[in-house]
Structure 1
């Protein structure tokens, strides 16, 4: 009897709202991806009449023609070299700078950090003319470094902020014990900080790789030779003066975003660990 008279607990709708919201976000992400993949299996005429449905006739030659072409693999190689250079240089410079800002206090450090973080306010497009002039003066036009170095410069601000926060969350007692034992800052950075920072290094490396892999404006300005083009510029081969072969463009995009998709899948655990490190304390 007492159970029947007890007040009922109000129904908690928060999990339902979260599930609906996440479902909508998933649809916004999955539907364009599926439309891109399926569009690569259609003819140009069917793509115009049936852009989102399943293909009536699966045009496998759209994908096989791209995979068997030497140009596709050359574009992919160029993108891989530029992205790898960008990731390696960004991790080296940003990790050292973040370690200094996290553990070494010197006059003007906060002002210098604020100056570096101002780079988040300016996209590369705002400085494309000075960048072109500087790269030309250095003799790096139409080279991999001519594209990678500006990308490194614009990746440093966010990379330093992420790495600095992670380095500061590491136990400070480790640094004090290492200094007492005669370990230098450089040795502590190499042998203690970097091995413990694999999650955030994977996070920064993945974000930098994706930004470099999808970059269009900088390669367009810095590269002149068709043999040096990365994959975003390679799409132009399917775009004519009066029409575009959209079914081949979608197949090309599907094949070129596959490496970044696989990279996210492989590094997902480290990315989540790196971004959430230090979020909960106590």
Structure 2
């Protein structure tokens, strides 16, 4: 009796070496900031890359006890939630006719959104600031969330359109036979089925908004500032307290990092649906 031998053929050593290098470059600074927050300034000065000995918890405790930190966090959450809601709602509403309707100029209109991927926020930052100022939205959550959502819409539509196109036409025909209108099909059938794609664009919009720096820097002042601006302010005010700065930075990036990792599988499934479409 012949036994079949199952052999596992992994990648080449070069592939693993590159993967380890990328992992080290990506995760290394995060681990250094987190572990540095558990050290004292004396430990960082004597051994910059060593482990905490002893572990210092006061750095994180001081940051968590700071009212400014929680104010920055609240502003970041509100801006990110508003941005995400606007991106998901208006993104799926814009992608729906581009995916399911047939009309003259549809592909040209879709091309306009695709071209929007080529223009970063920094290109239009000055006209955008003047427009927001004229609308009286400076130093408000909406003054930051709406422009962020506008620049996130091209990517949202590019992801959602093929996802919506992949849904069977028979579902829409069956809904119409049951008396459902196009709007009824959109709310009752299409929205529930497009959940993975909406989660994907929502997570991307949330994380991008959480990490935004330039637009909040121009639009927000004083108590309306977000966490990235709070990190810069804290670093400037406590420049001598390196361990405290590392603790503040670690706490500022943990929410977005945890949220992204928790939704990783949904993001992958949503992107796979978009590619298959």
| Greater mean deviation of Cα atoms: 42-51 or 126-135 | 42-51
Give the deviation of 1:201 after TM superposition: 1.1
Name which of 57, 64, 75 aligns with 2:61: 64
Match of 1:248 in 2: 244
Give the deviation of 1:179 after TM superposition: 2.5
Unmatched runs of 5 consecutive residues or more in structure 1:
4-9
Q: Does 1:104 align with 2:101?
A: yes
Q: Does 1:113 align with 2:110?
A: yes
* TM-score for the superposition, normalised by structure 2: 0.91
User: Measured at CA, do residues 160 and 11 of structure 1 come closer, stay the same or move farther in structure 2, by a change above 3 Å?
Assistant: closer
| Greater mean deviation of Cα atoms: 229-238 or 132-141 | 229-238
User: Measured at CA, do residues 219 and 279 of structure 1 come closer, stay the same or move farther in structure 2, by a change above 3 Å?
Assistant: closer
Unmatched runs of 5 consecutive residues or more in structure 2:
none
Name which of 24, 27, 36 aligns with 1:27: 24
Match of 1:277 in 2: 273
Q: Is the 8 A contact 2:148 2:209 kept in 1?
A: yes
Match of 1:234 in 2: 230
Q: How does 1:118-157 map to 2 (within 5 A)?
A: 118-157=115-154
Name which of 258, 265, 276 aligns with 1:262: 258
Name which of 156, 173, 176 aligns with 1:176: 173
Name which of 158, 178, 191 aligns with 1:161: 158
- Equivalent-residue separation in structure 2 for 1:40 and 1:242 (angstroms): 14
Give the deviation of 1:134 after TM superposition: 0.6
What value does the CA root-mean-square deviation take over the aligned residues?
2.4
Q: Does 1:86 align with 2:88?
A: no
Match of 1:54 in 2: 51
Match of 1:6 in 2: none
Count of aligned pairs between the two proteins: 274
User: Measured at CA, do residues 99 and 11 of structure 1 come closer, stay the same or move farther in structure 2, by a change above 3 Å?
Assistant: closer
* TM-score for the superposition, normalised by structure 1: 0.89
Q: Is the 8 A contact 2:239 2:245 kept in 1?
A: no
